[in-house]
Structure 1
Amino acid sequence: MKKSLSVLVFIFLAFGYSAIAQEIDKVVSVVGNNIILKSEVEDQYSQYLAQGNPDDSSVKCVILHQLLTQKLLAQQAVIDSIEVTEDEVDDNINRRLRYMSNQAGGQERLEQFLGMSLLQYREKMRATVREMMVANRMQQKITEGIDVTPNEVRTYFESIPTDSLPNFGTEVEVGEIVFQPKLTDEEKKPFYDRAESIRQEVLGGKDFGTMARIYSQDPGSASEGGEMPFADRSTFVKEFSAVAFRLKAGEISKVFETEFGYHFLQVIERRGEQVKVRHILISMVPTPASLDRAQNLADSVYNEITAGNLDFYTAAAIYSDNKETKYNGGMILNAENVNTRTTYIPVEQLDAGIFTAIDTLEPGEYSRASKFTGPDGKDAYRLVYLKSRTAPHQASLQQDYAKIKEAALDEKMNGIVADWFEERRKSSYIRIDEDYQSCDVLDVWK
């Protein structure tokens, strides 16, 4: 729909600080009591380039615009006593680091690019992420309770010239039931024995950190000697949390099992309701027999569904091992449009395996179970349901009401936030360095 640069839309190209030479650390802008350093702009621009984007110095203007927006919102958030908890910051950082690792091609390559370990980078980016989260929360407060009526949606749609209406490609509604292989106690034993063997070496005097770097299969902590940042009980899965908060500082646990495999851990330090630990993980790999059992169960569920003895949504709730979809009747949400929780997904966004599974299906049909590799790198089986397929078309109010409503709401909130910024700009001291005076996008701040 109508897309333009606005104070409502934050497109942070990167975040945090990297090892940039101190000579570029000059103040490029002042917003009230806050400053923006050239290193902040340059760091975000360098990561923009690292994502494969073309060299375009005008992007630095956009980055500074976004930083000015963030600073002004964060400044007001202090006045309004808006805060975020350390747990929320940790969760946000963890999600960002997982995304960055995937984009970089793995943790090691990301650390090479950053020039530091993820543990070091985590601490460097904490203040920046906290400020960004506070700014986002302030923006949410400005627009809380804002909605659009059906009449406003219609008025918005009718205001768009017919030749400017967007065209939508093929969209589908797809569900899945995932069957992960379950290992028997006998099949699990070699993995347990391996974890216990490493634990005995540590108890015998081997350095925990060195052993974690060599043997641990946790990609997020192995390179840090198994060390994890301070966290509360809610950060870990319940089995891990139960062990971590039961031990005293320095103690090493017995081997225990979680959904990720077999672990043992050592408590490094305890601060009230937070604990700092290091651990070693031995992941469990599906055996051929466990894969056969998963396939047999998937085939059985498929037969029950196609025979009319079991509906897909109930089957997903009972059998699916995908926690993100099983309580949604197995239906996959549009990852690019999570705010509206829409199930309509452009086919180009589909996982390649799901696209192949539904390619020959008609709406209302189910694919037979097929093997696939999950996000954890382990094989599993899934059967796929094609609920609907929408042909390419020009936007219409009847067919695309949810999308049009979202665009109308965006426009309404844009106006409200723009008015808020206009008032704050008038009463805030703002200075922009002469190097950025030619940036058209910054005219609103001058």
Structure 2
Amino acid sequence: MSRNRCIFLFLTLVTFSYQAWAQEAKVIDKVAAVVGSNIILQSEIEMQYAQYLAQGNKANEDFKCYILQQQLTQKLLAQQAAIDSIDVSEGEVDDNINSRLRYMSNQAGGQERLEQFLNRSLLQYKEEMRPSVYEQLKANKMQQDIVSGIDVTPLEVKRYFESLDTDSLPYFNTEVEVGELVIFPQLTREEKQQFRDRAEDLRRQVAEGADFATIARLYSQDPGSAPYGGDLGFNTRDGFVKEFSAVAFRLKPGELSPVFESEYGFHFLEVLERRGEEVRTRHVLIQIKPTAASLARAKTHIDSIYEHVVDNKLDFYTAATLYSDNKETKYNGGMLLNMENQQSRTTMIPADKLDASVFTAIDTLQPGQYSRPAEFTDRTGKTGYRFTYLKSRTPPHQANLEQDFAKIKEAALQDKINRKLSEWFEGRRKVTFININEEYHDCDDLKIWLKEQGDTTVAKL
């Protein structure tokens, strides 16, 4: 079965489930729980459960307990956020919704197909999503506020590790520390001119009356916004690269910018709306593709750096900081970070989590060695050259403080955060009216929310 066919069946099932839920909800809707002044409807739970089934999961009525538990948590956090004057801007809600819809459109094969599957316009669907997304973002901010500033000392890490059952300590597979030095081809002004000319031609068509959204859908090379007619939603200055911000915040609504260059290529944009410190724009992007001559120059450049590093005329960390074009690693001496461990920012990466091309490059290396420069394409589609450095390779082992301090520190920190959240929720539950429908009283996920009659929390509805 083709991927598109699978997507069609999935989205059709979501749509039918949603429609069936909506029709039934008009008849059977009831209150599943009350949290303070807010209610959770049975229809909300049924809708999420229908989506759970539509994703290919097996029927499991207990999952409704989990859904309700998540809803209770969200309501409690959102209520406290309102008390503490923690709010979410319209721009944050728009950005979150737009991000979700971009993903859904990509999965569906375009905006029109998604609207067909949903049986509603994306504008209508966005408005339906808005209250839920707004509440969810408020709850997230409240939770972040509760745990902000929490850290663990080395002594706390040691005590946490010593409290663990030695028989249940995790076993880590091979881990490596890897660096890379990347050089992307730099085009001359003359080499770039063909791409600028293409952007200028498209801008001219818009200026002469062509529909901006149609031009963007047909020709823009920004995969994230092209399906939406180039619409980027509301953003602050920090939401764009500096060249884009400088243009976007200088224009008035309805104005068309000249063609300008950023690290992504040549753009032109139109401002759709201004709202305080936020601006809603749409743009067309023409990416700059490397020429054969620019690739040859990049290869010569990286070969020269490689020879200096291998001959110990220049250490790898200095070379990466000075010359690498990978902005994510150059200020870390070229070293890759474990993206699943951002709090401790460890350079230890499980070998099976490496990009396949990086793993192949270091597979035969010994610690301290370098792979030869080779052409590659990064995850954004840019072509360049890189060589890799294997700093260390740690064999499989059971967790210990000496080798795994960073990972154990992260676990200790998460344990401390969880305990802080548990204390907070316990305190709020004691002073908040919570009424849960009797049909959910056997749910293991909800035991902590159910209290004896006479407590502030009421457990019968």
Structure 1-normalised TM-score? 0.85
Decide whether the 8 Å contact of 1:363 with 1:387 is kept in 2.
yes
**Separation in structure 2 between the aligned mates of residue 395 and residue 67 of structure 1, nearest angstrom:** 36
- Corresponding position: 1:197 with 2:201: yes
Decide whether the 8 Å contact of 2:33 with 2:41 is kept in 1.
yes
**Separation in structure 2 between the aligned mates of residue 329 and residue 114 of structure 1, nearest angstrom:** 48
Q: 1:170 aligns with which of 166, 174, 189?
A: 174
Indicate how the Cα distance of structure 1 residues 107 and 443 shifts in structure 2: closer, same or farther if over 3 A, else same: farther
Decide whether the 8 Å contact of 2:94 with 2:234 is kept in 1.
no
Amino acid in structure 1 at the alignment position of 2:347: T
Q: Secondary structure at the match of 2:403?
A: coil
Q: CA deviation at 1:85?
A: 4.5
Amino acid in structure 1 at the alignment position of 2:380: D
Rg larger in 1 or in 2?
Answer: 2
Partner of 1:75 in structure 2? 79
Q: CA deviation at 1:116?
A: 6.5
Q: 1:382 aligns with which of 347, 372, 386?
A: 386
Q: CA deviation at 1:267?
A: 2.4
Decide whether the 8 Å contact of 2:266 with 2:286 is kept in 1.
yes
Within a 5 Å distance, the mapping from 1:88-99 to structure 2 comes to 89=93
Q: 1:431 aligns with which of 435, 440, 456?
A: 435
Structure 1 residue runs without a partner (length 5+) = 1-16
Structure 2 residue runs without a partner (length 5+) = 1-13, 451-461
Q: Secondary structure at the match of 1:280?
A: strand
Further displaced range: 148-157 or 70-79:
148-157
Identity, in percent, stands at: 61
Partner of 2:322 in structure 1? 318
Decide whether the 8 Å contact of 2:95 with 2:235 is kept in 1.
no
Q: CA deviation at 1:445?
A: 1.2
Partner of 2:426 in structure 1? 422
- Corresponding position: 1:359 with 2:355: no
Decide whether the 8 Å contact of 1:20 with 1:39 is kept in 2.
no
Size of the alignment, in residue pairs?
A: 429
* 1:128-160 CA distance string (max 9 Å, x none): 444333323323333344333433333322222
Indicate how the Cα distance of structure 1 residues 406 and 274 shifts in structure 2: closer, same or farther if over 3 A, else same: closer
Indicate how the Cα distance of structure 1 residues 151 and 280 shifts in structure 2: closer, same or farther if over 3 A, else same: closer
Indicate how the Cα distance of structure 1 residues 418 and 288 shifts in structure 2: closer, same or farther if over 3 A, else same: same
Partner of 1:20 in structure 2? 18
Within a 5 Å distance, the mapping from 1:288-307 to structure 2 comes to 288-307=292-311
* 1:239-296 CA distance string (max 9 Å, x none): 2222222233322222111111111122223334333222211112222222222222
Partner of 1:210 in structure 2? 214
* 1:163-216 CA distance string (max 9 Å, x none): 211111111111112222222222211111111112222222222222222111
- Corresponding position: 1:35 with 2:33: no
Indicate how the Cα distance of structure 1 residues 244 and 93 shifts in structure 2: closer, same or farther if over 3 A, else same: same
RMSD: 3.0
- Corresponding position: 1:146 with 2:144: no
Further displaced range: 318-327 or 111-120:
111-120
Decide whether the 8 Å contact of 2:95 with 2:234 is kept in 1.
no
Partner of 1:188 in structure 2? 192
Amino acid in structure 1 at the alignment position of 2:217: R
Q: Secondary structure at the match of 1:242?
A: helix
Partner of 2:161 in structure 1? 157
Partner of 1:4 in structure 2? none
Within a 5 Å distance, the mapping from 1:270-289 to structure 2 comes to 270-289=274-293
Q: CA deviation at 1:96?
A: 5.7
Q: Secondary structure at the match of 1:340?
A: coil
**Separation in structure 2 between the aligned mates of residue 109 and residue 322 of structure 1, nearest angstrom:** 37
- Corresponding position: 1:226 with 2:230: yes
Partner of 2:9 in structure 1? none
Partner of 2:455 in structure 1? none
Further displaced range: 434-443 or 173-182:
434-443
Partner of 1:11 in structure 2? none
Amino acid in structure 1 at the alignment position of 2:157: V
Partner of 2:263 in structure 1? 259
Decide whether the 8 Å contact of 2:343 with 2:410 is kept in 1.
no
**Separation in structure 2 between the aligned mates of residue 180 and residue 197 of structure 1, nearest angstrom:** 27
Further displaced range: 133-142 or 197-206:
133-142
Partner of 2:372 in structure 1? 368
Amino acid in structure 1 at the alignment position of 2:18: I
Decide whether the 8 Å contact of 2:108 with 2:114 is kept in 1.
no
Decide whether the 8 Å contact of 2:362 with 2:371 is kept in 1.
yes
Indicate how the Cα distance of structure 1 residues 181 and 38 shifts in structure 2: closer, same or farther if over 3 A, else same: farther
**Separation in structure 2 between the aligned mates of residue 317 and residue 338 of structure 1, nearest angstrom:** 21
* 1:346-395 CA distance string (max 9 Å, x none): 11111111111110111111111222221212322221111111110111
Indicate how the Cα distance of structure 1 residues 288 and 119 shifts in structure 2: closer, same or farther if over 3 A, else same: farther
Structure 2-normalised TM-score? 0.83
Indicate how the Cα distance of structure 1 residues 317 and 59 shifts in structure 2: closer, same or farther if over 3 A, else same: farther
Partner of 1:135 in structure 2? 139
Decide whether the 8 Å contact of 1:100 with 1:110 is kept in 2.
no
Within a 5 Å distance, the mapping from 1:341-352 to structure 2 comes to 341-352=345-356
Indicate how the Cα distance of structure 1 residues 270 and 85 shifts in structure 2: closer, same or farther if over 3 A, else same: closer
Indicate how the Cα distance of structure 1 residues 195 and 294 shifts in structure 2: closer, same or farther if over 3 A, else same: same
Indicate how the Cα distance of structure 1 residues 317 and 122 shifts in structure 2: closer, same or farther if over 3 A, else same: farther
**Separation in structure 2 between the aligned mates of residue 213 and residue 179 of structure 1, nearest angstrom:** 31
**Separation in structure 1 between the aligned mates of residue 205 and residue 410 of structure 2, nearest angstrom:** 58
Partner of 1:6 in structure 2? none
Decide whether the 8 Å contact of 1:24 with 1:38 is kept in 2.
no
